[in-house]
Amino acid sequence: MRFSQLYAPTLKEAPSDADLVSIKLLIRGGFLRKVAAGIYTFLPLGLKVLKKVEEIVRQEMNAIGSQEILMPIIQPAELWHETGRWDDYGPEMMKLQDRHERFFTLGPTHEEIITHILRNELKSYKQLPFSLYQIAMKYRDEIRPRFGVMRSREFLMKDAYSFHDSWDSLDDTYRDFYCAYSKILERIGLDFLVVEADSGAIGGNESHEFNVLAKYGESTLLYCDCGYAASDEKAEYRFELREQQGESGTLESVATPSSRTVEEVSSFLGVNAGDIIKSLIYKGRKGYFIVLIRGDEELNESKLKAAMNDQTVVMATPQEVMELLKVPTGFVGPVGLPEEIRIISDYSIKGLKNAVCGALKEGYHYRFVLPGRDFEIDEWLDLKMVRPGDSCPKCGTPLKSAKGIEVGHIFKLGTKYSEKMNGYITDARGRNSPYIMGCYGWGVSRTIGAIVEQLHDKDGIIWPLETCPFHIVVTAVNIKDESIARTSLEIYDFLKSKNFDVLLDDREISPGMKFKDADLIGIPLRITVGRKLAEGVIEIKSRTEAKPVSVIIDNGYEALSLEIERALSAYNPKSILKLEEE
């Protein structure tokens, strides 16, 4: 490709709404253009990288025997009514109507479609196991589209679904996908962490997320050198009982006129946040309940939903609390609650002897509260948001934390969809039973953002070899110089014949601008044909090395070939980052 003919409009400045370095560089480098919030066009360079990522994912899927299909993006509402997700999926679902006023969705995911296709045709356990995948656009009306293609409303996903007649068989396939996902990230050459994850609204009983490590990743990960790693939505810890000092006093009501929050009550009464019982009213399928947690801890709603096995759980609104208990939220507490309200408590309440909690009366709190004496707890659960420094649930060592970008997510779905959508087969014993499913998502377009977020420096992107738009750029310093132009073209043709993806920078602009563009776009090797050509010398510069290497080309391109080979085998996008950190 000649740069003079390539549509890669590079920019000096990123648009002001580009909110992360990766999207800034992808726009400045001419890879992407924004069309609307969370909706992007991939320009030639962007599409080239996208196709390369797509191909790596496709190869690793094919390598584990998964078969590629293509399902429709537009899905009829009826299928989503069958699983109840037309209503449950929430406002992220893009909905539309056809001319007959029938409802459809632009698919945010494809469990319903795949289960529907197979339910009419899968008959026997003998046809199992197998898995199908597709690489296609997905639509989610994200509440906050941001970070470019990393949280967009239209995005390319690889989604796969597997079908089994036993849990052992699902475990085997789940392991295959786990390994394939690790291999994708190893091939691209990214630092990543696989964590245990919450399965949320998709359902199922086991799930892992694949996270590319990055300073500004949206996911918080907790991990330990012993191998334990989990997303913060899921992370557990080893509870250690911390008894409050002294004897328990007698329960006493105290006026706290305008103190509602933990901070206000703790400064008004001169107690630690850790001495306060935070009391929160929640609403789920079975009605209202109260959740207690120590004032210095944060409640993890994902753990609450998972523990209650109820994804509809939400915090009650102040109006709802007022109607229910006739008291503003800041004065709610467990002492003297109506019996029908279940009391669920996080372990952190254990060991409190002289605690403070709301008195169920406006403007008052209780002091010297003793759980067990002043109120009964119906259920103890681990509901706290685990923090770095908390003890690892496996080995007790303090946990560490990191930020990550979730690029892949795998789930053991079980029979959730097959049962609801009548996906039954005859099993080995002749019984009619629902098939067991797994599902496996990979964010293909998000991967591009993740690569750039991890691999860049102040000058631009540093693409790994597997996903770079071009391996080599041949920079003709002055294209009007006949000898430079001829040699540049010869080298370009030579490299093409060696199957390199090569760009010839034949534009009539200054060499400085050409060098800047090459660094911004992130091409691994730059071959400069310039003034030294008169002495038979050209230069090769790796994107990750500070200085160019001179190569003599008077006897053909043998020396050039060798130097390219050396530079490519030494090429390591991460090396430059380590240098920068020092």
Site of interaction with ligand ATP (CB under 6 A): 109, 140, 142, 150-152, 155, 157, 406-409, 441, 443, 445-446
Q: Which is nearer to ligand ATP, 142 or 196 (CB)?
A: 142
3-state helix, strand and coil shares in percent for the chain, rounded to the nearest 5: 30, 30, 40
Q: Which is nearer to ligand ATP, 152 or 256 (CB)?
A: 152
Contact 450, 214 (CB under 8 A): yes
- Shortest Å distance, C-beta 153 to ligand ATP: 7
Instruction: For 115, list phi and psi in degrees, rounded to 5.
Output: -65, -40
- Shortest Å distance, C-beta 207 to ligand ATP: 9
Specify the pairing of strand 314-315 against strand 342-346: unpaired
Q: Which residue is nearest to ligand ATP (CB)?
A: 443
- Shortest Å distance, C-beta 44 to ligand ATP: 21
Q: 97, 95, 132: which is closest to 116 by C-alpha? A: 132
Q: Which is nearer to ligand ATP, 358 or 443 (CB)?
A: 443
- Shortest Å distance, C-beta 446 to ligand ATP: 4
Contact 564, 474 (CB under 8 A): no
**Local structure of 290: helix, strand or coil:** strand
Contact 276, 348 (CB under 8 A): no
- Shortest Å distance, C-beta 441 to ligand ATP: 3
Q: Which is nearer to ligand ATP, 164 or 234 (CB)?
A: 234
Q: Give me 471's structure tokens.
A: 């391996």
Query: What whole-number distance in Å separates Cα of residue 3 and Cα of residue 503?
Result: 6
Query: How many C-beta neighbours within 10 Å does residue 507 have?
Result: 17
- Shortest Å distance, C-beta 145 to ligand ATP: 7
User: What is the DSSP code string of 388-430?
Assistant: TTSBPTTT-SBPEEEEEEEEEEEEEEETHHHHHTT-EEE-TTS
Plot region of 65 (φ>0 → left; ψ -120 to 50 → alpha; else → beta): left
Q: 295, 299, 242, 292: which is closest to 273 by C-alpha? A: 295
Q: Which is nearer to ligand ATP, 204 or 333 (CB)?
A: 204
- Shortest Å distance, C-beta 157 to ligand ATP: 5
Q: Which is nearer to ligand ATP, 153 or 278 (CB)?
A: 153
- Shortest Å distance, C-beta 445 to ligand ATP: 6
Buried b (16+ CB within 10 A) or exposed e, 439-454: bbbbbbbbbbbbbbbb
Query: What whole-number distance in Å separates Cα of residue 39 and Cα of residue 391?
Result: 42
DSSP state letter for 435: P
Q: Which is nearer to ligand ATP, 141 or 298 (CB)?
A: 141
Q: Which is nearer to ligand ATP, 178 or 380 (CB)?
A: 178
- Shortest Å distance, C-beta 582 to ligand ATP: 32
Q: Which is nearer to ligand ATP, 48 or 234 (CB)?
A: 234
- Shortest Å distance, C-beta 225 to ligand ATP: 26
- Shortest Å distance, C-beta 155 to ligand ATP: 4
Specify the pairing of strand 287-294 against strand 342-346: parallel
CA distances from 534 to 439, 484, 509, 514, 550 (A): 61, 9, 21, 21, 13
Q: Which is nearer to ligand ATP, 39 or 537 (CB)?
A: 39
Instruction: For 364, list phi and psi in degrees, rounded to 5.
Output: -135, 145
Q: Which is nearer to ligand ATP, 150 or 523 (CB)?
A: 150
